[in-house]
Structure 1
Amino acid sequence: MFSVFLFIVLFAATAAGCSDKPGIDATEIRIGYQKFGIMSILKARGTLDSQLKSRGIRVKWIQFPAGPQLLEALNAGSIDIGETGNTPPIFAQAADAPLVYFGAGLPRPEAEAIVVPKDSPIHDIRQLKGKKVALNKGSNVHYLLVKALEKEGLQYKDIKPVYLPPADAKAAFIRKSVDAWVIWDPYYADAQTDLGVRTLTNAKGYTSNRSYYFAAKSYARQNQDVIKIILDELDKSADWFNKNPRQTVGLLSKQIGMDFEPVNIAIHRADYGVVPINESIIRDQQQIANTFLQIGLIPKPIDIRDVIWNKN
């Protein structure tokens, strides 16, 4: 529990130290992305770069290993736009990060899971009691783990969380210094193809596992037209993504340095799209925030409506 609070404290300290952030550069937009998702495809296709170049704006793409690191960068003023899963913004908002949601992806519950080695004696969630479970601190899989434990009558304190980013978690998993791993695509698909892991459960029935699109508040306030262009290009890329899966796999596997097969598996788990933040989505995110407050993972209540772009 201490390490989660340390994460919140460090995030908040970063915010406190960012009062002298430089002004927004109107000629450049800095976009944070991860190895997988529509934002990554948007980068690979280059269509946003072309659109904004015609308006005199350069696009600087910055890759992050996971959502918490991406939102820490947004909090510190190092990026203007980013995409993460559903849980990182809860921790970020609780730490007063200056972010706003401006779009959401479609549900992808099959794209994250709790896995164990194929020869593990663990065969159900109840058997995780007292075991070491690897996960990226504050990432989308955090909520899956909490809800899966809850359904089986366990509490978060009943397991031993080991907070590691995906690459380190995979190494620990291979060494068997952890008993289970909670992970998302494309790392989940990579674990299936490379390690032959056994899946205890995916997120179906626990959480929607949507992606979310964020902007720094100051950037969104001053660049509404650019945000609308980004939304339009994300929507076009999602449509292209769904209609051209094989080309998408080729682009992504080359861009992220991962073999074709795991990327292919990840691509075909779900359809992709971009939708506005609606009442149902707000309720979903608020439920995550309320759950994390109740079990002590965030230090104060938050209202998701406070950080929705153009909610009126």
Structure 2
Amino acid sequence: MILSRRRFAASLGGALGLGLAGAGAGRAAKTVRLSFQRSSTLLTVLKTNGTLETRLGAAGSGVSWHQFTKVIEPMNTGAVDLHADVADAVPIFTQSARAPLTFYAMEAGSPRADAIVVPAESEIRSIADLKGRTVGVSKGSGCHFILAAALKREGLSFADIRPAYLEAPDGAAAFGRGSLDAWVIWDPFLAIVQAKRPVRVLADAGGLSSYNRYYTVNDSFAAAHPEIVATVFSALVEAGRWVKANPKEAVALLAPLWGDLPPEVVATVNERRSYAVKPVDRAALAEQQSIADTFLEAGLIPRRLDATDVRIWQPPAGRG
């Protein structure tokens, strides 16, 4: 593990200086609060290696980390400064709640990283067969949209199934004991269940969503500390490149942090995710509109949204 961390640090080269460029643009924050969730691979890499502690510490800022399972509430309330990366559907709910959030990075699509699964022995063979069945899904997640869109494609809606709104760990337990007919879930939970038992994939996000991930920061923090946002953005870009360029080292680092998962499970997760972090392109947010419209039709948000009407931070020249 020490070796892999040293390789990670070495691979960043002179990034410390790059990450702190422009650090005089604003007063250093006393403590930068970051949240993450289990699927936040790149933030987990940075946390484990102390990358942000080193870079931001050199500019006079401390770092505190906060892990959440339910991410919408802390995003809406501004409980931290920079929020866990989230799948494409989550910002629809935060935008609907008028949360003061700025998009500062996006991770290119990984449509195979979430799926609708049933036990291999199930008689359910298609999305249409879900009618009248109990389907587990995390409310407000990217998987929530995948389920809604997959049902709509078959002429069905949430009214045609029995949705069981469960956070991922609870969904895993319910699926394992047979309380769910189907489960809609993302990696690493998807890879875990596929490794534990034979399952059938009814559909993944392919053809329904690119399954992009977005990184957000509180508006006030982005305005007051753009140099910190730039440092975090650069670190995320580098961490994504490192994971893809060093698959064995990345597996060795992440497996213990994900509950000592078998290396092949972690490798599957990393293979399915793009980890390609880039600046947010407003035009690319057009896909968000279909998610917003689907959720409005399903009664999940109270009003129509222009999903592209969000605040976007752009990195200084040379950072993207």
Q: Which TM-score tier does this pair reach, normalised by the shorter chain?
A: 0.7 to 0.9
Larger Rg: 2
- Looking at structure 2, the residues matched to 223 and 245 of structure 1 have their Cα atoms a distance apart, in angstroms, of 33
CA contact (8 A) 1:133 1:179 kept: yes
For residue 165 of structure 1, report the CA deviation from its aligned partner.
0.8
User: Which residue, 173, 180, 183 being the options, matches 1:181?
Assistant: 183
Q: State the one-letter code of the partner of 2:246.
A: N
CA contact (8 A) 2:33 2:63 kept: yes
CA contact (8 A) 2:149 2:294 kept: no
Partner of 1:293: 296
Partner of 2:60: 56
User: Which residue, 252, 255, 258 being the options, matches 1:256?
Assistant: 258
Q: C-alpha root-mean-square deviation of aligned residues, in Å? A: 1.8
TM-score, normalising length: structure 2? 0.85
Distance 1:267 1:287, change over 3 A: same
For residue 119 of structure 1, report the CA deviation from its aligned partner.
1.1
Matches within 5 A, 1:1-312: 26-36=29-39, 37-65=41-69, 69-82=70-83, 83-259=85-261, 260-310=263-313
Give per-residue Cα distances to partners, 1:21-51, cap 9 Å, x unaligned. xxx9921111111122322222223212211
Give per-residue Cα distances to partners, 1:67-88, cap 9 Å, x unaligned. xx22311322321112111111
3-state SS of 2:208 partner: coil
Q: State the one-letter code of the partner of 2:296.
A: L
CA contact (8 A) 2:286 2:308 kept: no
Q: State the one-letter code of the partner of 2:199.
A: V
- Looking at structure 2, the residues matched to 267 and 140 of structure 1 have their Cα atoms a distance apart, in angstroms, of 18
Equivalent residue pairs, number: 286
CA contact (8 A) 1:74 1:80 kept: no
> Which ranges of structure 1 fall in alignment gaps of 5 or more residues?
1-23
Moved over 3 A (4+): none
TM-score, normalising length: structure 1? 0.87
- Looking at structure 2, the residues matched to 105 and 306 of structure 1 have their Cα atoms a distance apart, in angstroms, of 19
- Looking at structure 1, the residues matched to 61 and 49 of structure 2 have their Cα atoms a distance apart, in angstroms, of 17
For residue 256 of structure 1, report the CA deviation from its aligned partner.
2.5
3-state SS of 2:221 partner: helix
> Which ranges of structure 2 fall in alignment gaps of 5 or more residues?
1-26, 316-320
3-state SS of 1:80 partner: coil
- Looking at structure 1, the residues matched to 57 and 227 of structure 2 have their Cα atoms a distance apart, in angstroms, of 14
Distance 1:70 1:25, change over 3 A: farther
Identity of aligned residues (%): 38
- Looking at structure 2, the residues matched to 246 and 180 of structure 1 have their Cα atoms a distance apart, in angstroms, of 32
